[in-house]
Structure formats: structure tokens, C-alpha cells
């Protein structure tokens, strides 16, 4: 099974900061990676698919990159609405696997 590892687990940042979250796969998943945002008490929301494709309606300050085993989610200028937990997910092979999450907190 493919394992997904995110870093850091928690990130403290200020409004306007550039934020980068890393996700590593235990084996190559090509570009079959999605990113989700989850706020407390809410369902996850799809942000990015196929490593770098922005989901419709998602602000352009979110971007994704990477392929193979290393991927990044970048928020170019952190906004108050972006304080949340972010998860990566591989969909190269069964079983589907999520990273453990990265919580973005207010500094």
C-alpha cells in the first residue's frame, strides 16, 4: 500500500504570508494527487487535482506542483479564510490514501 506523509503537521503563519505544505508518497504516484481543505466541523473541500489542476471556483492563490513522490501545495498570500487543515490524497492505486493533514494556524 502507498503511504502519504505530509509536513509540517502544524504551520503557524500570518495573513499575507506565502505558505508551502509538502506531501510525500512512499512510491511513485505520477501526478495522481489531490489536495483538500477542511475547516472545523465541515466536510473537506477539493482544491487541486492531478497535482496541479485548480478546481473550479478555488482562488488562484492556491497552487499545486510535483510528480512522482514529492508534491507541494502553495498558498501565495494567506487569507483569513485559509486557516484550516489541508490533506493530500493519492489516487494512483487502491487503496486510496490520505496524508495525516497539515493544520495552518494563525501566528
Say if CB 89 and CB 5 are below 8 A apart. Answer: no
- Tell which one of 11, 49, 58, 69 touches another protein (CB under 8 A): 49
- Does residue 97 belong to the site contacting another protein (CB under 8 A)? yes
Give the CA-trace dihedral at 103, 81, 97, 70, to 10 degrees: -80
- Tell which one of 19, 44, 62, 64 touches another protein (CB under 8 A): 44
Number of residues that bind another protein (CB under 8 A): 25
- Tell which one of 7, 12, 93, 106 touches another protein (CB under 8 A): 93
Nearer to another protein, 77 or 93 (CB): 93
User: Measured between alpha carbons, how far is 83 from 11 in angstroms, rounded to an integer?
Assistant: 10
DSSP letters along 14-46, please? -TT--EEEEEEESS--TT-EEEEEE-TTS--EE
Nearer to another protein, 81 or 94 (CB): 94
User: Measured between alpha carbons, how far is 66 from 106 in angstroms, rounded to an integer?
Assistant: 27
Contact residues: another protein, CB under 8 A: 32, 34, 36, 38, 42-46, 49-50, 55, 87, 89, 91-101
Amino acid at each position: 500500500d502507498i503511504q502519504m506523509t505530509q509536513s509540517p503537521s502544524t504551520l503557524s503563519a500570518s495573513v499575507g504570508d506565502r505558505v508551502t505544505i509538502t506531501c510525500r508518497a512512499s512510491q511513485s504516484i505520477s501526478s495522481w494527487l489531490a489536495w483538500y481543505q477542511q475547516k472545523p466541523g465541515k466536510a473537506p473541500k477539493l482544491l487541486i487535482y492531478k497535482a496541479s489542476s485548480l478546481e473550479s471556483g478555488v482562488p488562484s492563490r492556491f497552487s499545486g506542483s510535483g510528480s512522482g513522490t514529492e508534491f507541494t501545495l502553495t498558498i501565495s498570500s494567506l487569507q483569513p479564510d485559509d486557516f484550516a487543515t489541508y490533506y493530500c490524497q493519492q489516487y494512483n492505486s487502491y487503496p486510496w490514501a490520505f496524508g495525516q493533514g497539515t493544520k495552518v494556524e494563525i501566528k
